């Protein structure tokens, strides 16, 4: 367990851009990827806005256009993000042991688009007209499996599924896999594509999403007193984790080091966070303990911060519980005001953000924080990105079912 793990590659597909640098610059500029839904006619839905990925072409990451047609949108996002992370890492796959290179790429829901389309066929045309690719397209492990098949990565391979904590769990388990000596390189993250009638309708039925339909750019309002729910996003994020000596031997560019991982359960409620964020607090403490760090070693937190009324309050309470007086010195931001909530992909996109924040010494802003909730009284980096020295970060992800996952990344100084 004394093996060190570093981040050497990043790949994202987001509503703010399909490439890392474009996404990062748009995020720092305070841009917002939320707009009216164009994927289907949402006129009868309570929520008619979302953060869609538009003008997306996955073909560069796939062996052929035929393979693209045989995959669900969530898999296309995931494979493309992993392909980008591979390119960003500079790894020459022909010069590494592919038996020790693996993939953990999860999804909160999987192929919901395929489920909807094939269900229509079943009802209207009968079971004989269902696609033979129905099951491979919808099962949520397929993004992980496909990337390993396309790029001949024969190491550990699986998919996590823990709602909005999915990607952080994937990264944490990939970190653990390298620490245990079972791999030297892991591609880890999450992918999601649920902006379809069933996905939007289901969350509308829960009354979990914003209905600020006439003002989409200002609809996602983390920690703001006027917040009224999250806004759905879609996309994928993948990070390349690498054993330090393996990375050094090939002269890799290192973004940061993954130092700790927390994984706890609220054991409280299906959708609501535990009172006062108790489960989230235990998760952050576990991550600090596994990293061997003190609260004072953290300078920035990328909050789960979904803009739900109770969730933002509970996360604020959890941060105060864990960090005490140091909580007032932390920069805390939620980037979901810009990207929407990407569900099972959120944690990986946000760890990419954390990695860039450490590399560049910039904390991204929480946009739309115009009227802070009195119960959310920390420094949330409102409106404008902030230049600052960032040595240690916590990336928080909390999901339905009471799943909590926290990743700690630190500046790598050799």
Catalytic residues: 164, 304, 341
In this structure, are residues 98 and 156 in contact, taking their beta carbons and an 8 Å threshold? no
Q: Tell me whether residue 130 is exposed, middle or buried, using C-beta atoms within 10 angstroms of its C-beta: 0 to 12, 13 to 18, 19 or more.
A: middle
Q: Alpha-carbon distance 240 to 357, whole Å?
A: 17
Q: What is the 3-state secondary structure (H, E, C) of 75-94?
A: HHHHHHHHHHHHHHHCCCHH
Cβ-based neighbour number of residue 208 at 10 Å: 18
Q: What is the 3-state secondary structure (H, E, C) of 279-338?
A: HHHHHHHHHHHHHCCCHHHCCEEECCCCCCHHHHHHHHHHHHHHHHHHHHHCEEECCHHH
Q: Alpha-carbon distance 39 to 41, whole Å?
A: 7
Strand ranges (E), 46-132: 49-50, 101-106
3-state secondary structure of 199: helix
Cβ-based neighbour number of residue 163 at 10 Å: 18
In this structure, are residues 389 and 361 in contact, taking their beta carbons and an 8 Å threshold? yes
If we measure between CA atoms, which residue out of 144, 145, 173, 155 comes closest to residue 102?
A: 155
Q: Which residues of 222-251 are buried (b: 16+ CB within 10 A; e: fewer)?
A: bbbeebbbbbbbbbbbbbbbbbbebbeeee
Pull the structure tokens for residue 64.
């052929």
In this structure, are residues 341 and 306 in contact, taking their beta carbons and an 8 Å threshold? yes
In this structure, are residues 327 and 378 in contact, taking their beta carbons and an 8 Å threshold? yes
Q: Alpha-carbon distance 52 to 57, whole Å?
A: 14
């Amino acid at each position: 367990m004394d093996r060190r793990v570093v981040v050497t590659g990043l790949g994202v597909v987001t509503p703010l851009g399909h490439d890392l640098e474009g996404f990062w610059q748009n995020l720092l500029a305070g841009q917002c990827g939320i707009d009216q839904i164009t994927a289907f006619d949402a006129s009868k839905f309570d929520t008619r806005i979302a953060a869609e990925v538009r003008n997306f072409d996955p073909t560069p990451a796939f062996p052929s256009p035929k393979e693209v047609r045989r995959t669900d949108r969530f898999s296309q996002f995931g494979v493309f993000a992993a392909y980008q992370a591979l390119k960003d890492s500079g790894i020459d796959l022909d010069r590494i042991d592919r038996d020790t290179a693996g993939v953990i790429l999860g999804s909160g829901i999987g192929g919901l688009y395929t489920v909807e389309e094939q269900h229509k066929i079943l009802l209207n045309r009968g079971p004989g007209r269902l696609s033979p690719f129905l099951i491979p397209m919808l099962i949520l492990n397929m993004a992980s499996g496909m990337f390993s098949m396309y790029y001949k990565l024969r190491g550990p391979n699986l998919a996590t599924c823990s709602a909005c904590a999915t990607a952080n769990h994937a990264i944490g388990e990939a970190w653990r896999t390298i620490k245990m000596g079972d791999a030297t390189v892991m591609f880890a993250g999450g992918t999601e594509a649920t902006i379809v009638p069933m996905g939007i309708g289901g969350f509308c039925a829960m009354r979990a999403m914003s209905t600020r339909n006439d003002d989409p750019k200002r609809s996602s309002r983390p920690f703001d007193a006027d917040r009224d729910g999250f806004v759905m996003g879609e996309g994928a994020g993948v990070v390349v984790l690498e054993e330090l000596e393996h990375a050094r031997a090939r002269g890799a560019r290192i973004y940061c080091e993954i130092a700790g991982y927390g994984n706890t359960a609220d054991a409280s409620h299906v959708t609501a966070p535990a009172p006062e964020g108790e489960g989230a607090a235990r998760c952050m403490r576990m991550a600090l303990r596994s990293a061997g760090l003190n609260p004072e070693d953290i300078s920035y937190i990328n909050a789960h911060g979904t803009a739900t009324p109770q969730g933002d309050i509970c996360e604020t309470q959890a941060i105060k519980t864990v960090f005490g007086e140091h909580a007032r010195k932390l920069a805390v931001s939620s980037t979901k005001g810009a990207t929407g909530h990407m569900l099972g992909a959120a944690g990986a996109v946000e760890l990419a953000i954390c990695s860039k924040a450490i590399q560049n010494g910039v904390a991204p802003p929480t946009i739309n924080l115009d009227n802070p909730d009195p119960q959310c009284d920390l420094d949330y980096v409102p409106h404008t990105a902030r230049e600052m020295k960032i040595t240690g970060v916590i990336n928080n992800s909390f999901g339905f079912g009471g799943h909590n996952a926290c990743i700690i990344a630190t500046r790598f100084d050799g």
